[in-house]
Amino acid sequence: MDKGENRKSSIPPYTWLLSRRPNFMASFTHSLRKVAVEHLELQKGDRVLDVGCGTGASFPYLVQAVGTSGEVVGVEISPDMAVQARKRVESHRWGNVCVLEDAAQTVQLAGQFDGLLLFAAHEVFTSPDALDHLLVSLQKDAHVVAFGAKRSSRHLGILFNPLLSFITHHLLPSSTSPIDDQPWRLLEERLGELHKQERVYGFMYLVCGSFHTTDG
């Protein structure tokens, strides 16, 4: 096995696929990303974090929301994905978008942000260390939006939960927590009650809430 094959085997399948096909599933996620960004309620001039930004597929919606006077900061742990995200930034000539290649638990962030997007970043919002590290960089009342997969509680959906578990187990990084029926629980512990929406027969969800700082 050569070095290329060794590298491929060490990369989660979904990361390997998206790094080579940046627009894979773009037609499916287009409307979902748009709605997720709308729930951030960003204003022109705001600064927003897109953690687990992948290939930067949410950047167009975020840039439109914050305008040229705002800033979009993407965080991506995968070098292959970060390369694709930077290519997207360069192709659109966005001067107010940057991509930081680092883990959500350790990334160095400058200043405060007015919003946090966690789109299909299951390994981030199921990590207490990652959430605690990111939330301290948010302004008071900043909106947080997360989207991802979950086990369905609907009658027919329950039949397909084992298939979902099988697929995600083989697609996601081995260190990722298994997908269950409430992947947002750690986020809700930190933000308080979240507004929740189920999608795709209960297999997908969108949750949003606001960050409230504690004095003292």
> Mind listing the pLDDT tens digit for each residue in 166-184?
555 555 555 556 666 788 8
Q: CA nearest 213: which of 113, 122, 85?
A: 113
- In the three-class reduction of DSSP (H, G, I as helix; E, B as strand; rest coil), residue 74 is classed as strand
Write out pLDDT tens, residues 61-70: 999 999 999 9
- Domain 3-210 in CATH 3.30.230.10? The answer is no
Q: CA nearest 119: which of 30, 211, 6?
A: 30
The pLDDT value given to residue 9? 38
- In the three-class reduction of DSSP (H, G, I as helix; E, B as strand; rest coil), residue 141 is classed as strand
Q: Are 123 and 149 in contact (CB under 8 A)?
A: no
Q: Which residues in the chain land under pLDDT 70?
A: 1-28, 151-180, 199-203, 213-216
Residue boundaries of the structural domains of the chain: 3-210
**Which are the contacts of 63, defined by CB distance < 8 A and separation ≥ 6?**
70, 72, 92, 94, 96, 97
The pLDDT value given to residue 165? 59
Write out pLDDT tens, residues 91-125: 999 999 999 999 999 999 999 999 999 998 888 98
